[in-house]
Amino acid sequence: MSRFWSPLLNQLTPYVPGEQLAVPNLIKLNTNENPYGPSPRALQAIAEAAGDALRLYPDPHATALRTAIAARHGLAPSQVFVGNGSDEVLAHVFQALLKHGLPVLFPDVSYSFYPVYCKLFGIEAHPVPVNASFEIEVDGYKTPCGGVIIANPNAPTGLALPLADIERLLQLQPDRVVVIDEAYVDFGGESAVRLLDRYPNLLVVQTLSKSRGLAGLRVGYAMGSSELIEGLERVKESFNSYPVDRLAMAGAAASFDDEAWFEHTRQAVIRTRGELTASLQALGFEVLPSATNFVFARHAGFDAAALAQGLKQRAIMVRHFRLPRIEQFLRITVGTDAQCSALLDALRELTGPQAKAA
Ligand X SMILES: Cc1ncc(COP(=O)(O)O)c(C=O)c1O
Interacting residues with ligand X (CB under 6 A): 32, 85-87, 111, 151, 155, 181, 183, 207, 209, 215, 220
Identify the CA nearest to 347 among candidates 283, 281, 289. 283
Q: Minimum distance from CB of 207 to ligand X (Å)?
A: 3
Cβ atoms of 165 and 136 closer than 8 Å: yes
Nearer Cβ to ligand X (27/205): 205
Q: Minimum distance from CB of 183 to ligand X (Å)?
A: 4
Q: Apex CA 68: angle with CA 80 and CA 272, to 5°?
A: 95
What 3 state SS string does 195-257 have? HCCCCCCEEEEEECCCCCCCCCCCCEEEECCHHHHHHHHHHHCCCCCCCCCHHHHHHHHHHCC
Q: Minimum distance from CB of 262 to ligand X (Å)?
A: 16
Query: What Rg do the C-alpha atoms of the chain give, in angstroms?
Result: 21
Q: Minimum distance from CB of 292 to ligand X (Å)?
A: 9
Nearer Cβ to ligand X (85/335): 85
Q: Minimum distance from CB of 65 to ligand X (Å)?
A: 14
Cis ω before 38 (30° cut-off from 0) = no
The whole-angstrom separation of Cα 307 and Cα 74 is 45
Phi, psi of 187 (to 5 degrees): -100, 10
Q: Minimum distance from CB of 129 to ligand X (Å)?
A: 18
Cβ atoms of 195 and 165 closer than 8 Å: no
Q: What is the DSSP letter of 192?
A: G
Identify the CA nearest to 165 among candidates 184, 182, 150. 150
Q: Minimum distance from CB of 29 to ligand X (Å)?
A: 13
Nearer Cβ to ligand X (183/311): 183
Nearer Cβ to ligand X (87/351): 87
Nearer Cβ to ligand X (207/272): 207
Cβ atoms of 202 and 191 closer than 8 Å: no
Nearer Cβ to ligand X (111/302): 111
Nearer Cβ to ligand X (30/351): 30
